[in-house]
Amino acid sequence: AQKVTQAQTEISVVEKEDVTLDCVYETRDTTYYLFWYKQPPSGELVFLIRRNSFDEQNEISGRYSWNFQKSTSSFNFTITASQVVDSAVYFCALIKAAGNKLTFGGGTRVLVKP
């Protein structure tokens, strides 16, 4: 069975602070994909990144960066110099290769105060 754990339920920061969201996963599969989605107050989930299990290279996209460590089964997400528009719920998710079901973590609510 697969499991995704986001231990932080809510994080509150002041604008321009950095914030790191933790994601720990469990799977017996050797090939899988990890995702991060953003859910703004409007409700829809917005895709942020997809990472396959063979690619442990860290990735940076603007103010967003991701740290994938297979040895610790973690796929953490950092927002640098946070902005009020970053306020949302962020979900980490996992799917096995050739799978058809995404397993989501419980989500982390990020509140960025001006």
Partner 1 sequence: DGGITQSPKYLFRKEGQNVTLSCEQNLNHDAMYWYRQDPGQGLRLIYYSQIVNDFQKGDIAEGYSVSREKKESFPLTVTSAQKNPTAFYLCASSIPRGLFTEAFFGQGTRLTVV
Q: Which of 28, 30, 41, 44 binds partner 1 (CB under 8 A)?
A: 44
CA distance 74 to 54: 14
The single residue listed with the structure tokens 């990890």 is: 34
SS3 12: strand
If phi > 0 it is left, if psi is from -120 to 50 it is alpha, else beta; for residue 100 that is: alpha
Q: Which of 95, 111, 113, 114 binds partner 1 (CB under 8 A)?
A: 95
Q: Which of 31, 56, 84, 106 binds partner 1 (CB under 8 A)?
A: 106
The residues that touch partner 1, with contacts defined as CB under 8 A, are 4, 6, 9, 33, 35, 37, 42-47, 50, 91, 95, 97-102, 104-107, 109
